[in-house]
Structure 1
């Protein structure tokens, strides 16, 4: 079974406008029918304060081959945001023993194609990263200045970029 097929079969909680669970559906169906669900986004920094950035592989179910400035993904059915954030961060970074990501805020990401609540986190990773080749095609840690210089030239995952911008505002940065 391909990574994309496994991903499409993952069971998600479907939520209402107040983020209350109202049902469950396979991820592929949730995406195809634009059913509102839950996701996590974790901005990862190394001990020098550089931000982990990566390009997604072409086989990703959504936003294939795009750059991202956060790691994360869907929250599984019955899973908490906090557990999902840690699981997704460890999976995408290829590490074990990551400190618990710190929750910052939650918002509704709503576009014509997608609808999900995003809980945004931050974490420092001092461990050597080994990103999953099935999920991450390229990666690096960039300073905030380097990242801002590159963003205009990159095709960036839209909800990840929104998380990044909202984190900047949360930290009082322009």
Structure 2
């Protein structure tokens, strides 16, 4: 866990992190599967080209909780290919070519949290995120991480663990990744019984 206290909206830790020494985006050349509106693989592409051309692909989102049931929250680095310097309540990323959602979820969770030996994340639901030219099928997971975390500095600029109430208080004021915010709202709807989070289509998230 970070030794820092969660920053208040507009506080120093909410400012943009200093630029990385290598400003090139991460993982632009990673090969990923391209899928259709039914999540069927129809081809492959480098990740950067997929984003540039608006090609639909696959992602895994993992909500990580510590032993006290607090949620891992972080700020992405300025080098991230998509949504740089924004806050996120999920770890995760793009599913690689030929990789399953489940395998990607465990790999991404261990990489971003900087741990090994995590249990297999539990799948909760899948949905189609769409926001203008951006579109990806996303499977949402949860996992318990009871070991100390050491997030990748290339991926994570700042991190802490927040209770659900602390996270809810920050949703209106911090600038969140829109796909993660859409996934979290669907998760809340699922737990509150107020809707079907697995329905595909527009997320309704602000960009």
Which structure's CA Rg is the greater one? 2
Are 1:142 and 2:162 counterparts? yes
Alignment partner of 2:192: what SS?
coil
Task: Measure, in 2, the Cα distance between the counterparts of 1:49 and 1:128.
Answer: 14
- 1:22-50 CA deviation, whole Å, 9 max, x = no partner? 00000011000000000000011111110
Question: CA–CA distance in 2 between the matches of 1:33 and 1:90?
Answer: 29
Task: Tell me, in whole angstroms, the C-alpha distance in 2 between the residues paired with 1:75 and 1:121.
Answer: 13
Q: Structure 1 residue runs of 4+, over 2 Å off?
A: 2-6
Determine which structure has the larger helix proportion and give its number: 1
Where does structure 2 lack aligned partners over 5 or more consecutive residues? 1-21, 195-207
Q: Which of 52, 55, 69 is equivalent to 2:75?
A: 55
- Provide the alpha-carbon RMSD of the alignment: 1.4
Is residue 2:49 matched to residue 1:35? no
Q: Cα distance 1:20–1:156, how it changes in 2: closer, same or farther (>3 A)?
A: same
- Give TM-score scaled by structure 1 length: 0.96
Mapped partners of 2:23, 2:95: distance in 1 = 17
TM-score by length of 2: 0.81
More strand by percentage: 1
- Check 1:99–1:25 CA distance in 2 against 1; reply closer, same or farther (3 A cut): same
Aligned residues: 173
The answer as to whether partners of 1:92 and 1:136 remain within 8 angstroms in 2 is yes
Change (3 A) 1:3 1:90: farther
Shift, 1:111, TM fit: 0.8
